[in-house]
Amino acid sequence: MSPRIDPADREGQGEDREVLRLRWQCRRGMLELDLLLNRFLDTAFAELDAAQRVTFNRLLAYQDQILYDWLMGHAVPADAAIRDLLQRIRRAMLA
């Protein structure tokens, strides 16, 4: 007989899987990006609402150099949702 799984436990496992998947996607070709994105994932990602989490996934689809330029303030994305998320990531750097 298999043990019963509480639905609340299942929900937590789903969130853990999402964070693990995102942590893998945060592994980049630039150490600086690895550090910035993983720090954000550890300190502030849980505070994001569903729309912001979708934006974070979209952000991870960009090339490393573009992400780096945005995070360092060398360039500004046209998308307001991405601009707002970048601000949150920068604030997480200082936390």
Q: pLDDT tens, 39-95?
A: 999 999 999 999 999 999 999 999 999 999 999 999 999 999 999 999 999 998 887
In a domain, 18, yes or no: no
Distance CA(70)–CA(65), nearest Å, equals 9
In a domain, 53, yes or no: yes
| pLDDT tops 70 at residue 3 | no
Determine contact, residues 13/24, Cβ cutoff 8 Å.
no
- Domain of residue 65 covers 29-94
In a domain, 73, yes or no: yes
The number of folded domains in the chain is 1
Distance CA(39)–CA(92), nearest Å, equals 7
In a domain, 57, yes or no: yes
Q: Residue 63 in 3-state DSSP?
A: coil
